[in-house]
Amino acid sequence: MIHVYGLTETSPFILYNEWKKEFDSQSAEEQATIKARQGIELAFNGETKVIHQDGEEVRWNGEELGEIITRGNVVMKGYYKDPDKTNAAIRDGWFYTGDLAVTHPDGFIEIRDRAKDLIISGGENISSTEVEGVLYKHPAVLEVAVIAIPDEKWGEVPLAIIVLHADAQLTEEEVIRYCRDNMAHFKAPKAVTFVEELPKTATGKLQKYRLREMFWEGSKKVN
């Protein structure tokens, strides 16, 4: 299996996870981590990079977070009869994907979150997908979505919404403790809700906006 990445607006692939022979010597867990990356740019399609808000490219250290942008002959000209949306997405010839990522020293790009799903708690950026990735390793967790919820002290904090495996049992305290044992404490969920199912599209895509609407009703952040 080869991991590829793209969008409808890019026709659709702009990155692919090229497997290299040196990866074969890595442990199974390390190989799985590499396979989860989106990969390197498809050079014949154009250019793709990760940039800060000021337009400067992030350092290739696997830590600096930025937005994936791309340009080339596979990028759309614009959204049909929607110049405002087109101008917001395409700037100076670059298409802004809305995906937040890091670039590793070998040039492989790895998505950490969608810009609209990033949780900003007390000035710290928390990737919802990073927290979800930790929770998916728990044997009792079948599905999980992590979103921001309002908090008087921190502005917003992570909430984990979990679907358990059949007959599995797990408490909120156990979930929070598990996350704190496996990641930075400030990234761990501050609250946990258990549900029977998560809202999804007909194609199985998680609809986080519907979850946000439930928990941000009456607040400003609902998109």
What's the pLDDT tens digit per position in 34-46?
A: 999 999 998 888 9
Spatial separation of the C-alpha atoms in residues 172 and 63, rounded to whole Å: 30
Give the other-Cβ count within 10 Å of 149's Cβ.
20
What's the pLDDT tens digit per position in 43-84?
A: 888 999 999 999 999 999 999 999 999 999 999 999 999 999
Spatial separation of the C-alpha atoms in residues 178 and 180, rounded to whole Å: 6
The yes-or-no verdict on residue 108 having pLDDT over 80 is yes
pLDDT, position 220: 57
pLDDT band at 122 (very low <50, low <70, confident <90, very high): very high
Domains of the chain: 4-115 (2.30.38.10), 118-215 (3.30.300.30)
C-alpha pair distances (Å), 82 with each of 66, 77, 223: 26, 11, 19
Spatial separation of the C-alpha atoms in residues 53 and 99, rounded to whole Å: 13
The yes-or-no verdict on residue 126 having pLDDT over 70 is yes
Instruction: Pinpoint the alpha helices (H) of 64-167.
Output: 83-89, 128-135
The yes-or-no verdict on residue 218 having pLDDT over 60 is no
pLDDT, position 219: 58
pLDDT mean over 178-200: 96
Supply the pTM of this predicted model.
Answer: 0.82
Q: Compute and round to an integer the Cα radius of gyration of the chain.
A: 19
Joined together, the tokens standing for residue 39 give 């990969």
The yes-or-no verdict on residue 221 having pLDDT over 80 is no
Assess contact for 127 and 162: CB atoms under 8 A.
no
The 8 Å CB, 24+ separation contacts for 133-139 are: 134/178, 134/179, 134/182, 134/183, 135/160, 135/162, 135/175, 135/178, 135/179, 137/182, 138/170, 138/175, 138/178, 139/165, 139/168
